[in-house]
Structure 1
Amino acid sequence: MAKDWKKTALLVIDMQNDFVLPGAPLRVDGAAAIVPNVTKSVELAREHGMLIVWVVREHDKLGRDVELFRRHLYTEKGGPTVKGHEGSELVEGLKMHEGDYKLVKTRFSAFFATNLHSVLLTAGIDSLVIVGIQTPNCIRQTVFDAVALDYPSVSVIVDATAAKTPEVHSANIIDMKNIGVATPTLEEWCNLSA
């Protein structure tokens, strides 16, 4: 895991109302439970001067930029995580600050068809710590792309990430660990700074 905090970025992925709140259209069952740990991860990152990247989905009202398999969720009235709608906002308790970076994505990976890699290189970032949802989709795809792009240190905080079930979450954590990704708990990651 990274020890040079100024060269490390915290990626907070998809912690938005439409993925977290009860009754939300794309609710991930484990999402609400990790909000306190995501919040603590952000607080620790701020204390150490890390770059915080808020990775969010924001879609066109008609879903023209969403994956083919989700287009049926969009109508003239909109759909999940439409830009400017309440569902696309960060869940209560999480807030962007000046100096943070907001990255909008329309696919699972935060690297796919975005400028994330360029932003990180420009900022001198070579280590990533990832929190948020959902483990088999956006977390996993982002992590695998980071590994493919040769980031020397990629970590996933296991109790600040979640999936629809604990079993799905655990299976994906094992897969990421098997490709050299660090998988600390929040407490273990916090102890690095002590």
Structure 2
Amino acid sequence: MADQLKHTALLVIDMQKDFLDEQSVFAVPGATTILPSVINTVEIARNRGLFIVWVVREHDPQGRDVERFRRHYYGSGKPNPVSKGSKGAELVEGLEMKEGEYKLVKTRFSAFFNTNLHSLLQGMGITDLVVSGVQTPNCIRQTVFDAVALDYHSITLLSDATAAATPKIHHGNITDMENVGVVVMRVDEWGGL
């Protein structure tokens, strides 16, 4: 197990205020319920010495780098969610990046799309991933499917440290990920390994 831990990274995806604050246009309903599980996941990962990647969205306030279907949220007098330097782009209270951990900024659903994540992980000898955060059908699923396509040896999705708009959407997407070989477990199961 100790050898495998050297090759494992935890991805904490989009645990930012604009995704958890119910007043935000990007809020994921019920996402705040997973916060204790995500906090626990990060502590387990730190205790095991895992490499932790904080995957966050940060957009230009004018929306020039946001997906076409979301551009109407950006510009003067608009909400400008998860804009670079904004309060909404900060990690939610209870989570903080520590020295030695890595912040990866993305502008699309997948943490691999148009970022240096794969080369970073390859350079560190990472072959196994553990995934937590929001939202299951979008950023979680896209990242996981890209990791599958990139032939990561093992991908573990923590079901109670990930969330979607509804339990039905969450569980349907988890089933799809299981069908492509993703290991799904609860944080307490993973922590007990």
Structure 1 contact 55–110 (Cα < 8 Å) conserved = yes
CA contact (8 A) 1:109 1:141 kept: yes
Pairs within 5 Å for 1:41-60: 41-60=41-60
Count of aligned residue pairs for this structure pair = 192
Partner in structure 1 of residue 114 of structure 2: 113
Q: Give distance in 2, aligned partners of 1:30 and 1:145.
A: 26
State the AA in 1 paired with 2:116. Answer: N
2:143 corresponds to: 142
1:12 maps to: 12
**C-alpha distance in 2 between matches for 1:106 and 1:186:** 28
Whole-angstrom CA distance in 1 between matches of 2:76 and 2:107: 19
Matched with 1:104 is: 105
Q: Is the 8 A contact 1:8 1:126 kept in 2?
A: yes
* CA–CA distance in structure 1, aligned partners of residues 168 and 71 of structure 2: 28
Distance 1:53 1:31 in 2: 19
* Unmatched tracts of structure 2, length 5 or more: none
Alignment of 1:1-194 (within 5 A): 4-77=4-77, 79-192=80-193
Equivalent position amino acid for 2:106 in 1: K
Q: Give the partner amino acid of 2:190.
A: W
- Aligned partners of 2:3 and 2:138: how far apart in 1? 27
Partner amino acid, structure 2, of 1:111: F
Give the conservation status (yes or no) of the 8 Å contact 1:6–1:48.
no
State the one-letter code of the partner of 2:4.
Answer: D
Q: Give a deviation string over 1:89-136, Cα, whole Å, max 9, x none.
A: 000000000000000000000000000001101111000000000000
Give the match's secondary structure for 1:159. strand
- Which 4+ runs in 1 deviate beyond 4 A? none
Q: 73-82 vs 39-48, which deviates more?
A: 73-82
Quote how far apart the aligned CAs of 1:187 are.
1.1
State the shift of 1:76 in Å: 1.9
Please report the TM-score for the alignment, with normalisation by the length of structure 2: 0.97
AA aligned to 1:61 is P
RMSD: 1.3
Give me the TM-score of the superposition, normalised by structure 1.
0.96
Contact 2:22–2:28 under 8 Å retained in 1: no
8 Å Cα contact 2:128/2:155 also seen in 1: yes
Displacement after TM superposition at 1:69 (Å): 0.1
Question: What displacement does 1:24 show?
Answer: 1.5
Distance 1:82 1:100 in 2: 22
Gap change, CA 1:2 and 1:68, over 3 Å in 2: farther
